[in-house]
Structure 1
Amino acid sequence: MRLLLDSFWRAVAYCLLPRVILLSLAPLVVMIALAAGLSYFYWDASVAWTRGALDAWPLLSTVWGWIGNIFSGDVTAFLAPLMVVFAVTPMIVVLSLLIVAALMSPALTRLVADRRFAGLEQKKGASMLWSIARSFGLTVLAMLALVVSMPLWLIPPLVLVLPPLIWGWLTYRVMSFDALADHASAEERATLLRTHRLPLLAIGVLCGYLGAAPSIVWASGLLFAAAFFILIPLAIWIYTLVFAFSALWFAHYGLDALAQLRAQRTAAASSAPLLPADALDAERRLASSREIT
């Protein structure tokens, strides 16, 4: 419990660092760059195609004409740009978050390691390619679990439990692995993940519930179209900040647990009685050192 609370407050404090705040704003920068590039090359063609699709349906053409007579305007000319924006925004957001998430988690782990565990040896127990492949496979499993569990969401209590639990499991499996990938050996990582399974899962579930907060802002942006361009970037920033907090929490917990594990093993090795063969080797080393001196 001490390690859980200590890592929590440290993660909260690290979220106030200018470097972390700048990292949390990175998806907005990437999203603006992607939107500007796509708008420059494809905006006119996309709007023209969407407007043509709206006018091509006879039933909808009648509806557009009826609405246009009421408001004295071209309805499709107004709806086509909005439909393009609503269709492209989720893809831009997801791509931006994936790009930043791939870069943010290692950067935040290095930040924690440099500030708190500079003397902790890096044993490189997992490669980046293996970490990416593992994260992709776990994400696919989580998406399948979400799809399979959707019928259960009709039961009111379960809709508040199952999605955060699934996302919490995914967060726990991915971020705990990434937090230890550089510093722990494969054996140390397996030991820590087995020993601290419940606290790490609790961190993941809590972060899963925190990750649901931006969805409220996102839904508000969809309901209030006038505030779409304000609420959606706000939701993206909150989501990225939650992701940064999650990565920091797992990094503080995982590296602190690793440091304690190594300290315990060192203390146990130094206090363990020497076996006869070990004692003989120690005497030989002592004798050789005396001969040299």
Structure 2
Amino acid sequence: MSTHPEALPVVVRSAGFEGVGLAIGRALRSQCRGPMLLALLLPLFVAVISAIALLWFFGATLSDWLQSAASSYNVTLGAVDGMLIPIVVGIILLPIAGILGLVAAAIFVMPLVLRHLNERDYPGLQRLGGHVFFPSLWNATWVMVVFAVGWVLSLPLWMVPPLAIVAHVGWWAFAFTKIMRLDALADHATPQERKILQARHNRGFWALGTICALINFLVPPAWFLLPVLSALMFSHFGLEALRRLRSETQP
């Protein structure tokens, strides 16, 4: 039985971190299924090609600019100059390639994830929202632009290691949460349902984004898993929350 938007409660109470652990456990199980293993290839391909292209087209120019900037401020790097400049170039450009892989997962892989979960885990959950390609594209685009600008502007914080960790985790938590939260609910939830779920489970969505960001920081090789795994985590979290919301409003 479908839930009519007008029947939903207007005032909601925060659910805190309820359901986060359940979503992570379900996502890990789903990731081991054949279709989800194959889904890893697209965002990984996009990220690798983007990294190669960014380094090819902008690496030398950025290296020259950094060297010129260091000289203009009378910063002498000495023997480590040949090692330090490429590291800084990588710190600037590689995360941008990573966010492109995340965007590819949100736009192209998320529909596959939702279809798979709808068949295997949530067969009775009606799709009342309709996944709209262009809103998803716009959301991913503005998040990517804000992330890229914020990442570059926060680079001076890398001179202070504790602040560098906060900036790294903070920006990636922002990217994961803002990109994946919308797409995880767009297919199944109505606009009013999305509004209620985002208000009720805001802490849970941000907790998932922060967990993904910490994995990205602490275990960099795990990045090839994160675009699809994060899609599974947010989808399980959002769909289970939607199922509970509709059970509350059914007569």
TM-score range, shorter chain: 0.5 to 0.7
Alignment of 1:13-162 (within 5 A): 13-26=29-42, 97=101, 100-101=104-105, 102-124=107-129, 127-162=132-167
Counterpart of 2:243, as a letter, is A
Identity %: 28
Normalising by structure 2, report the TM-score.
Answer: 0.67
CA drift at 1:157: 0.8
- Quote the Cα distance in structure 1 between the aligned partners of 2:102 and 2:209: 19
Residue 196 (structure 1) aligned with residue 212 (structure 2): no
The total of aligned residue pairs comes to: 195
**Alpha-carbon offset, residue 239 of structure 1:** 2.1
Cα pair 2:173 2:210 within 8 Å, conserved: yes
Equivalent residue number for residue 239 of structure 1: 223
Q: Taking CA–CA contacts closer than 8 Å with sequence separation of 6 or more, which of the two structures ends up with the larger relative contact order?
A: 2
The one-letter code of the counterpart of 1:173 is K
- 2:173 pairs with 1:168: yes
Q: TM-score normalised to the size of structure 1? A: 0.58
What is the CA deviation profile of residues 23-67 of structure 1, one whole-angstrom value per residue up to 9, with x for unaligned ones? Answer: 2134566799x7xxxxxxxxxxx9xxx9xxxxxxxxxxxxxxxxx
Q: What whole-Å deviation, never above 9, does each CA across 1:154-176 have from its counterpart, x for those lacking one?
A: 22211111111111112111101
Question: Matched residues in 1 for 2:195 and 2:27: separation?
Answer: 24
CA RMSD of aligned residues (A): 3.2
Residue 188 of structure 2 corresponds to residue 183 of structure 1:
yes
**Corresponding residue for residue 250 of structure 1:** 234
Which amino acid is the alignment partner of residue 36 of structure 2?
V
Question: Displacement, 1:153?
Answer: 2.7
Q: Report deviation, 1:149.
A: 2.1
Q: Are 1:12 and 2:16 an aligned pair?
A: no
> Which position in structure 1 is the counterpart of 2:243?
259
**Does the 8 Å contact 2:128/2:189 carry over to 1?**
yes
Q: Secondary structure at the match of 1:211?
A: helix
CA distance in 2, matches of 1:98, 1:198: 21
In structure 2, the CA distance between the partners of 1:159 and 1:143, relative to structure 1 (3 Å rule), is same
Looking at structure 2, the residues matched to 162 and 26 of structure 1 have their Cα atoms a distance apart, in angstroms, of 27
More helix by proportion, 1 or 2? 1
Q: Distance in 2 between matches of 1:124 and 1:240?
A: 30
Q: Report the counterpart of residue 208 of structure 1 in structure 2.
A: 213
Superposition deviation, residue 18 in structure 1: 1.8
- Decide whether aligned partners of structure 1 residues 162 and 250 sit closer, same or farther in structure 2, where only a CA change above 3 A counts: same
Separation in 2 of the partners of 1:149 and 1:99? Answer: 21
| CA distance in 2: counterparts of 1:103 and 1:149, whole angstroms | 30
Tell me, in whole angstroms, the C-alpha distance in 2 between the residues paired with 1:22 and 1:120.
25
CA gap of 1:190–1:18, structure 2 versus 1, over 3 A, is: same
Give the match for residue 230 of structure 1. Answer: none
- State the distance in 1 between where 2:237 and 2:120 align: 14
